[in-house]
Amino acid sequence: MSRRRELHLNVNILNAGIFGGSWRVPENDPLSAYTLEHYVGVAKTAEKARLDAVFLADGPGLEAEIAHRPGNSFEPSVLLARIAAETERIGLIGTFSSSYNDADELATRLAAVDAVSDGRLGWNVVTTAGAAAAANFGRDAEPEHTARYERASEVTARVIATWAGQEGTPLVPASPQGRPVLVQAGASADGTTLAGEHAEVIFTAAQTVEEAHAFRRAVDEHAIAFGRRPEHVAILPGLSTVVGSTEAEAAERRRLLDELVPEPYALRRLSGQLGFDLSEVELDAPVPLDTLPAPERAAGSQTFYRMVLGIIERDRPSYRQLLRTLGGGAGHRIVVGTPEQIADHIESWFRSGAADGFNVMPDALPSGFDHFAEQVVPELQRRGLFRTEYSGRTLRDHLGLPLQPPLRAVAPVLTPSW
């Protein structure tokens, strides 16, 4: 690498924490994720630790698992505007659906958040999988995978054009960072193409360094094909963290979190990822690899299905072992250990080029992020890997991304169909 690489860290405020039982840990209020203070508090802690950004996942609908665990709740554009009022530097990344928002309306709304936060917004473009969300917008079924990504390409291009003021008169207020940072999550073939076309930050799921390198090569190729520079794309895998002051303490905490996952929730979630009902299976039987569908034919999120398939191919686990590996979480890599061990992991992935940083998904919120901010971040700073002060004010400044007011003259390659 010719330019000096900087480590980037976001915290994913995934309601009460990444694991299915996170909300049940004794030290946190179980309903914390349904309070404003929860989000403002994590954002302030993140700012104090000099993280790049907070990250909010989202979807327009109530999750089927709500009986057993918290879900997305506060609408991100309103919530981020409020967080912007209570913070000064921390970046604000929100997830907004390309399928269930109108491009013109979304462009002006996001530009408003970017303007009132003095240039701290990032837009995580998602296509929103699932029939439940579709049914909240008058659809009988979810649009199929490729059609969702065609629309995502069209909507993203149109939002960027609106931000750039292509028509001459400015349609949105000016932003100190030119325009919001584009973030993309999702590692399907269509998702990787979309990332190569538009994304400046990619939030992905990778279990091994090899997988991460392969993903990076694919993204780089797409970026080059779209006339972009690969070094202007930061790849930040999700990283679930379980921090303990000793190895034994961390392992004990992980064991507790496994114990706290509501079993109906874990089974239901894995059923959805594998595409068949697990309520009748023998939990200690091995997962039969040969009967699982190919990723392209799987319903729902291909990213997580691929990842789960990877674990099954590698470890040949029983259902019970697989449930444990996934931890009732979203399937991101889980690291368990002392602050030094977690810093080692982050350092080795970063130095190998497998990641430019991480979207940190603490085991429980807010407590697990307090542990990360108070123990892991100082260790990374001691090693000279992570900033001790912000050098700029905008999210682009934090990420080392160029100002992006000008429009690329390249039309979207994917064609819109709905």
Partner 1 sequence: MTDRLPVIVRLPAAVPGSAPDTVAVAREALAISARHRVEAVLIPHEEPPALDPSVLGGLLSSAGLDVPVIIEAHTGRHAPFNLARRVQTLARITAGRAAVYLRDSGVDPVTAAGRPAAAADAEGLIDEYALLLRRLWNSFPESALLGDREAARFVDVAQLAPAQHEGRRYGVAGALNVPIAPAQRPVLLADAGSLGEVGAVDAVVSAAHAVLGPPAYRPITWAADADAESTRRSLADALAQHAGVLLRIDAPASAAARHLEAALSAITALASAESEPLRPSPWQRRSPGPSAA
Q: Which residue's structure tokens are 């057993």?
A: 68
User: Would you say 137 or 276 has its CB closer to partner 1?
Assistant: 137
Residues that bind partner 1 (CB under 8 A): 21, 23-24, 26, 29-31, 34, 36, 60-63, 66-75, 77-82, 84-86, 100-102, 104-105, 108-109, 111-113, 115-116, 118, 132, 135-139, 170-174, 260, 262, 418
User: Would you say 138 or 384 has its CB closer to partner 1?
Assistant: 138
Q: Which residues are annotated as a binding site?
A: 58, 95, 145, 149, 188
Contact 154, 412 (CB under 8 A): yes
User: Would you say 143 or 196 has its CB closer to partner 1?
Assistant: 143
Q: Kindly state the smallest distance separating residue 131's Cβ from partner 1, in Å.
A: 9
User: Would you say 27 or 280 has its CB closer to partner 1?
Assistant: 27
User: Would you say 260 or 407 has its CB closer to partner 1?
Assistant: 260
User: Would you say 66 or 224 has its CB closer to partner 1?
Assistant: 66
Q: Kindly state the smallest distance separating residue 75's Cβ from partner 1, in Å.
A: 4
Q: Kindly state the smallest distance separating residue 155's Cβ from partner 1, in Å.
A: 10
Q: Kindly state the smallest distance separating residue 63's Cβ from partner 1, in Å.
A: 7
Q: Which residues are annotated as a binding site for FMN?
A: 58, 95, 145, 149, 188
Q: Kindly state the smallest distance separating residue 79's Cβ from partner 1, in Å.
A: 6
Q: Kindly state the smallest distance separating residue 305's Cβ from partner 1, in Å.
A: 24
